[in-house]
Amino acid sequence: MAVSASRPFEGLTVVALEQAVAAPFATSRLADGGARVIKIERPAGDFARGYDDVAKGQASYFVWLNRGKESLVVDLATPAGKETLRALLAQADVVVQNLKPGALDRLGFGPTTLRRTWPRLIVCSISGYGEDGPLASRKAYDLLVQAESGLASITGGPESTARVGISIVDIATGETCYSAILEALIARSVTGHGADIRVSMFDVMADWLTVPLLNHEGGKSPKRLGLAHPSIAPYGVFRTKDGKDLLISIQSDREWAKFAEIFLGQPEVAKDERFATNVMRVRNRPETDAMVAAAFARLDKPEAEAELIRADVAFASVNDMAALSAHPHLRRVTVGSPAGPVSFPAPAPIFVGEERRYGPVPAIGEHGPLRPATSAEKRS
């Protein structure tokens, strides 16, 4: 099959020694792009298959992140299983793995060994805390790293810490791995050499936490503000007269001046030294927010939205999952699964003029014995 903009990985083979979320996220994107992704599962299957049963009796995480893959059950503790894996690796372009720390090395397939045996192979290994250091051997899951990295300390309201409502560490790690693999594929097309990529969940989250960390180290340690921005005001939720919540964002002093004139009906506050600049509005946040809240309390939601549009202010409704399910901007894809078609949000990239196809979710071991790649599938 010819390579296209929407399926640039046609002919690439990916061996996925994966479970849970982070690695499956990365390989799902490779599968979306046309790669043949061979998912190695233990006889009981990826444990993410049992996380819940809301997608026609199947786990939502598994359905979301394993579309378009082949499932091959391999017992890596046996000589036959190791031989099967060795045969798979011999035809692979990319290996992605997030097994327990050191597990692949103990099986004789550590990244260094793989790269020495197959120099063109791109190996991406995911860990919790990296290859060395006091926590290197520790198991790591999304919420644990949210806590360990400090993310939970800046999430939630003033009364307590909270988890981000999705598996943000896993997803961020999967995206990071995906982008690193793409870089390695580009480099290999030039140099002919593969890569040994190591990504730790902690490193990913620390990178994403750069701004709050620098604020802390600069003497302005961030506080938990719920749905408010720690360094911009007004940027938060306000309630209308009819009890509806709207979140607004004022990004500049120019926007503030227009908002003050049109929405607040108080053009003079744009020149008041307590509110004229964002730094001062943040410093005087209680007074700033009280002024804005009073204006919202005079208007029903449709009236408030009309005035916000007239003032050219960015705003959003504070929705829940029911609202997302019916949202006019929600794009969906439908994929096959062992229990029938499942619909869920479409991946964000749109390739104009080229419709992207999404493969079905596999049953455990559905693709049975090893099928070698065909000449059309395998390219250098």
Active site residues: 229
- Could you tell me whether strands 314-317 and 195-200 are parallel, antiparallel, or unpaired per DSSP bridges? unpaired
Is residue 202 exposed (0-12), middle (13-18) or buried (19+ Cβ within 10 Å)?
buried
**Residue 323 burial (10 A CB sphere; 0-12, 13-18, 19+):** exposed
Give the C-alpha separation, 201 to 186, whole Å: 24
- Contact call for residues 58 and 211 (beta carbons, < 8 A): no
Question: How buried is 135 (Cβ within 10 angstroms: 0-12 exposed, 13-18 middle, 19+ buried)?
Answer: middle
Task: Write down how long the chain is.
Answer: 380
For residue 200, how many C-alpha atoms fall within 13 Å in the half-sphere facing its CB?
Answer: 20
* Residue 255: its H or E element: helix 253-259
> Is residue 171 packed enough to be buried (19+ CB in 10 Å), middle (13-18) or exposed (0-12)?
middle
Q: What is the token pair recorded at 264?
A: 């607040």
d(CA 152, CA 38): 35
- The sign of the torsion formed by the CA atoms of 285, 288, 291, 296 equals negative
Task: Supply 3's token pair.
Answer: 């390579």
d(CA 124, CA 119): 14
Closest to 180 in 3D by CA, of 220, 222, 117, 125: 125
Instruction: Yes or no: say if 258 and 316 are a contact pair by the CB < 8 Å rule.
Output: no
